[in-house]
Structure 1
């Protein structure tokens, strides 16, 4: 385990005082409760206020309350909890229809994290687990999520990053990846053939939140022994339908796109 950073620990201690039911706190109150030097408390409060984690109470400049940034972080956390729970339910419904492995994934940096998964009942099926990370460029969900990013953000995430191969079919050329992302962006569907697993192909569709932003992707993974062009088209429709259903649970309506 790495070393704890004292300054960060103290800043979090300040914020956690508000979990004790206090609506507002003054610098002397923080000093007394945390047993910290007055100068240190002043610096902590000033820094937290500058980053909008705290704000001064109108008409009471010496008192502080929680700022908008704490609300934003809490909302983001709650959103992801909802996404995982709802994603698991929708993945189960899609899996019951197609009897193939269904995932829901989100993007973190240039990797995808699987937050929900339901297995196929077939003896031959994809082996994976919720919580697993994979390079985004090697997966259908990842290509779809990268394709949804604004160009500047996509550039920032890919800049200086080596496109490592997971199989002989993985995309390792940046130009080829951008071409694949353009196709996914246009189709609204992404496909990968044996790019992350030599025995599996996959199709994915975008999941949107109430604002219309792509926040996740739902995929169906199939062993190549059961993959045909006809099956791909059928699974693409099922993935799109499942993604739309999950988007609806998150408050999105198709008319918003």
Structure 2
């Protein structure tokens, strides 16, 4: 059935279902999905069965549903069209190798950051649990700060008004005004810092990756598990900015 605005109702429901599952950090039961989407349980079940048949949704042993890995494969294919991950890989490996920290590349997905590439220092005994495809609240990460700051003013105001500023650690910025002030500070220095705001053991430093128009299309970060003092932080920030700049240059040269 096509609505008055030209939308196919069944497709619209599928998209809403996928967005719902993608926004949750834990799998959902059938009844929870039906209630959240305000659709009959039978309709939700039919949609889920179809998506499972296409490997876009998977069901665990507890009869709970989550996004399937095939969705990320499709997203990765779209990203590969501009070779962003391929172009970023070498600078990320250099950055991680010279700093001993984990290097991440991410894009903004609504109110979350979506990790699209990751490089770890293999000589380190410490590991971070984030993986490609991980989504984290944008307000609690350096990556998120960079990406949100790049939004046009009207979108930024709407984002700040709509975002749920959940406190994840004692240092998490938990209100829109304070977050806006933080974005203003990062604009002055050219990078963003997550000072134990997502996890009490992690310091993050991020900088923008820009396309040929100068628009920020992704963010590059270092996540460090070792304590970082102010002097070290400045050096790491300079390295992140330089690596992000190298990726931006490569992207412009490729025509992306």
CA contact (8 A) 1:125 1:222 kept: no
Task: Name the residue aligned to 1:144.
Answer: 146
Name the Cα RMSD after superposition: 2.4
TM-score (norm 2): 0.66
Instruction: Name 1:111's counterpart in structure 2.
Output: 112
Relative to structure 1, is the Cα distance of residues 139 and 194 closer, same or farther in structure 2, using a 3 angstrom cutoff? Answer: same
Residue in structure 2 matched with residue 93 of structure 1 by the alignment:
94
| Count of residue correspondences | 183
Pick closer, same or farther for the CA change 1:160–1:117 going to 2, 3 Å: same
Q: List alignment gaps of at least 5 residues for structure 1.
A: 10-75, 253-257
Question: Counterparts of 1:6-155 in structure 2 under 5 Å?
Answer: 8=11, 77=78, 82-120=83-121, 121-155=123-157
CA contact (8 A) 1:100 1:125 kept: no
Q: Which residue does 1:228 correspond to in 2?
A: 229
Q: Cα 1:171–1:96, aligned 2, differ >3 Å: closer, same or farther?
A: same
**Aligned-partner SS, 2:235:** helix
In structure 2, runs of 5+ residues without a counterpart are 1-7, 13-76
2:64 is matched with which residue?
none
Question: Could you tell me which of 216, 219, 232 is aligned with 2:218?
Answer: 216
TM-score (norm 1): 0.65
Radius of gyration: which is bigger?
1
Residues 8 and 226 of structure 1: is their aligned pair in 2 closer, same or farther, counting only changes over 3 Å? closer
CA displacement at 1:99 relative to structure 2: 1.7
Give the distance between the partners of 1:204 and 1:94, measured in 2 at CA.
12
Secondary structure at the residue paired with 1:199? coil
Structure-2 separation of matches of 1:89 and 1:108:
24
Could you give the per-residue CA deviations for residues 70-106 of structure 1, whole angstroms, max 9, x where no partner exists? xxxxxx9356651122223321121122121110111
* Counterpart secondary structure, 1:145: helix
